[in-house]
Amino acid sequence: MRGSPYVHGSVRARGSPGAHHEAVSLPVAEVVSRLQGVLGATVVAYLGEVRDTRTVAQWAAGDRDPSDAVTSRLRMAYQAAALLGERDSSGVVQAWFEGMNPQLDDVAPARVLREQPLEQAGPAVIAAARAFAAQG
């Protein structure tokens, strides 16, 4: 699976420029669907600040759109997940998003993305993902 392109249920990209390109160019429904496949609906709901995973399913199906702020956050999460998915399994990517991260003052990347302004959180999470991927 290492270095393979995207396969349904996981995120794979062909390099960090590819991860960025996909994050900004894919329809939001596809971004949500791919994130849901890797992180699970509960984590995507957390990132999207919704309580109900049915909302995530509606986003993934294209039946509803998240707000612009949530869309930006989900695209940033996708970029980090795609970057990590270049080298690691979806299980590792999910654990990385949910676990304490020394690059982020021992705060989980998902929490950083949800609670901090995206202008600060985005670059910090991407830098942490790059650092983790470089260790692989």
Note down pLDDT in tens along the chain; length 136 residues. Answer: 333 333 334 444 334 567 887 888 789 999 999 999 999 999 999 999 999 999 999 999 999 999 999 999 999 999 999 999 988 999 999 999 999 999 999 999 999 999 999 999 999 999 999 999 998 6
Q: Alpha-carbon distance 64 to 84, whole Å?
A: 28
Give every CB contact of residue 101 below 8 A, 6+ residues apart in sequence.
107, 108, 109, 112, 128
Compute the half-sphere exposure of residue 55: CA atoms within 13 Å on the CB side of its CA. 15
Q: What is the pTM of this model?
A: 0.85
Number of CB atoms found within 10 A of residue 118's CB: 15
CB distance 89 to 54 below 8 Å: no
- pLDDT value for 100: 97
For residue 21, the model assigns a pLDDT of: 74
Residue 123 token pair: 């670059």
What local confidence, expressed as pLDDT, does residue 22 receive? Answer: 80
Q: What is the pLDDT of residue 4?
A: 31
Calpha distance 56→65 (Å, rounded): 9
Q: What are phi and psi of 18, to 5 degrees?
A: -65, -40
